[in-house]
Amino acid sequence: MSEQTFFKVTVDGITIEVPAGTTILQAARKIGGEVAPPAMCYYSKLKGSGGKCRTCLVEVAKGSEKDPRPMPKLVASCRTTVMDGMEVKNITSEKVVEARAGVVEFLLLNHPLDCPICDQAGECHLQDLSFDHGKSKTRFEFQKRTFKKHDLGKNIQLHMTRCILCYRCVFTADQLTNKRVHGILDRGDHAEIATHIEKSLDNEFIGNVIDVCPVGALTDKTFRFKNRVWFLKPMDAHRDCPSCSGRVTLWNRGDEVYRVTARKDEWGEIEDTPDGKPGWICNTCRFDKKEATDWVIEGPRAISRASVISQGHYAGNVGMTLPTETFKAVNGGRTPHLLMDIHDESEVNQQNIHLGQIQGPSHGDTFNKTENAS
Amino acid sequence: MQALTNKAQAVNRKPMTFLERLYLINIIKGMMITFSHMFKKQPTIRYPEEKREFSPVFRGLHVLNRDEEGRERCTACGLCAVACPAEAITMEAAERIEGEENLYREEKYAAKYEINMLRCIFCGLCEDACPKDAIYLSETFAPANFTRKGFIYGKPDLLIPNPKTEAEAYAEAKGVEA
């Protein structure tokens, strides 16, 4: 690769050399941290994605070394390639900050803000984006759009009202599966993700649309309402899967597997496997392997300190093994006279109900039909 | 040693006089103070018969609220549990099925909701965290109990009576507006 040319690009005052053809967003991500613009629709592992949501807008203060004029308008950094000597302003530009607040306002216009119900809450890119860049008030005074509910089969739940039309799931189906059955129907305000007519998504790799969805529009039905993500323990695990890499993150409560997702990097995208391919996982791994014995646990997953998911989690292997019971040793070998086992009293986390094994969300009778009332 | 401040006072080590050595005068002085308290207003309250008024910001036992149509407001979002510094709150969510629309306000609801009153420190952070106006701290406190079992409060203990079907109990639970 000796003839590959490298371009110097400066983002927010930090200079980096990247190969020609790199987008501004990728260059900024190479620098990392706050310099990287947020992206809702762009997904580096999906060809053709990007350019739709406008959250990654940046200001180009200097076009290139040869043509130093600034670009007249803010540009979408996910679709603009770098030029030699280009100077880009991201968070240091007031115009960008203002534009991004406007984009967030547009994205939230029709968003139902049902985060208390939404399973994506806590790992939702739209939540992060509006927290970082949005305003706390809305000027929208009208009815939000609603849709007729579509059933996408037994594994994937669609909430069209939450969708921001990023097209990531469409690209995923195009590039990972042999036949795409869902897509965007209608246009404008009526545009919606749907199948024509009422098909279920059942390709072996279609489950990845859940991972690429930046909001809670596509969620895992087998995990639906089971628990909040920040009360679960993310664990890296793998299994010998004939159809995919088998490298996943398990979301456990105790030893029970509640949810299986692919491993995500700091940009919320699927991590590469050691051989350099994106680590998409198959539906069998994602939806059907909910037994702890199906997996080889590698250790706790590192979660960003800023994320709510890291609450109650500690560094290293803390909490991985049960602490030894010291009561008998310090009490002269006697067991305590009065000891309240919380499971005798509490009706939450009953030991004979295995929520992880239940297909689909639990209902009122799930918890009441048991004989654990004593 | 040099004094750090000029507040120090030397202890009076003068030997006591005869009158002082008798202690009688001081005893009588003290008794006078005790006696004078008999004519002052009693601060004691005869508790079960008479109850002290709570401050308007008093934080007591929790109440799970219902909306005007009697539907439970809680949607088991877990924000109270994550805000709770004592980790006293636990819950289990379930999906509302057809026919339960008059029971629960949202698509998801708390099938089980528990507050461990032994752990609770009545800080009120759950009330602050709740996005659905579902949990409130009332002006009562947890009654005493001989065992620890009675302090795990489940949904039947916490839910406010239904304003539609049990209007009287609801009005009583709600109390008078201050």
- Read off the pTM: 0.85
Please indicate, yes or no, if residue A289 is contained in any of the structural domains: no
Return residues 18-77 of B near A (CB < 8 Å).
Answer: 75-77
**A318 located within any domain:** no
Inform me whether the C-beta atom of residue B125 falls under 8 Å from chain A C-beta atoms: no
The answer to whether residue A195 is domain-embedded is no
DSSP-derived letter for residue A104 is: H
Of A96, A63, A68, A56, which is closest to residue A82 (Cα–Cα)? A63
Q: Is residue B18 part of a domain?
A: no
Domain tally, chain B? 1
For residues A47 and A52, give the distance between their C-alpha atoms in angstroms, rounded to a whole number.
Answer: 14
Asked whether residue A104 is assigned to any structural domain, the reply reads no
Nearest C-alpha in A relative to B83: A311
> Is A146 touching B (CB cutoff 8 A)?
no
Domain membership of residue A34 (yes or no) is: yes
Whether residue A367 lies within 8 A of chain B, CB to CB, comes out as: yes
* Confidence tier at B177 by pLDDT (50, 70, 90): low
Q: Does position B146 have pLDDT exceeding 70, yes or no?
A: yes
Residue B122: which domain range?
Answer: 62-174
Which pLDDT does position A369 carry in this prediction? 59
Which domain, by its residues, includes A15? 6-93
Q: Is residue B12 part of a domain?
A: no
Q: Is residue A362 included in any domain, yes or no? A: no
User: If you average pLDDT over residues B104-115, what whole number do you get?
Assistant: 93
Q: What is the CATH number of the domain that holds B136?
A: 3.30.70.3270
Pick B115 or A4 by higher pLDDT: B115
CATH number at residue A38: 3.10.20.740
What sections of chain B are H helices per DSSP? 18-22, 24-36, 79-83, 125-129, 155-158, 167-174
Angle at alpha carbon of residue A357, lines to A354 and A358, rounded to 5°: 95
**In the block, residue with structure tokens 């620890």:** B148
A255 touches chain B (CB under 8 A): no
Q: Quick: pLDDT tens for B15-69.
A: 989 988 899 999 999 999 999 999 999 888 898 898 888 888 899 999 999 999 9
In whole angstroms, give the CA distance from residue A215 to residue A112. 11
A340 inside domain: no
- Give domain status of residue A164, yes or no: no
Contacts of B114 in chain A (CB under 8 A): 346-348
Inter-chain contact B92–A362, Cβ cutoff 8 Å?
A: yes
Would you say residue B87 lies in a domain? yes
Give B162→chain A minimum CA distance, Å: 19
Tokens of A179: 């036949």
Low-confidence ranges of chain A (pLDDT < 70): 1-2, 316, 319, 369-374
Spatial distance between the Cα atoms of A292 and A161, rounded to a whole number of angstroms: 34
B174 reaches A (C-beta below 8 A):
no
Query: Closest approach of chain B CAs to the CA of A366, in angstroms?
Result: 8
**Residue B93, H or E segment:** strand B89-95
For residue A297, give how far its alpha carbon lies from the nearest alpha carbon of chain B (Å): 26
Q: Quick check: A359 and A154 in contact, CB under 8 A?
A: yes
Reported as a single tens digit per residue, the pLDDT across A231-254 is: 998 999 999 999 988 899 999 988
- Look at residue B1 and tell me if it is in a domain: no
Find, in chain A, the residue whose alpha carbon is nearest to that of B116.
A346
In chain A, the number of structural domains is 1
Q: What is the DSSP letter of A284?
A: I
In a domain, B92, yes or no: yes
* Cβ neighbours, 10 Å, residue A201: 22
Say if the ipTM goes beyond 0.90: no
Q: Measured between beta carbons, which residues in chain B are less than 8 angstroms from residue A117?
A: 75, 77, 106-108
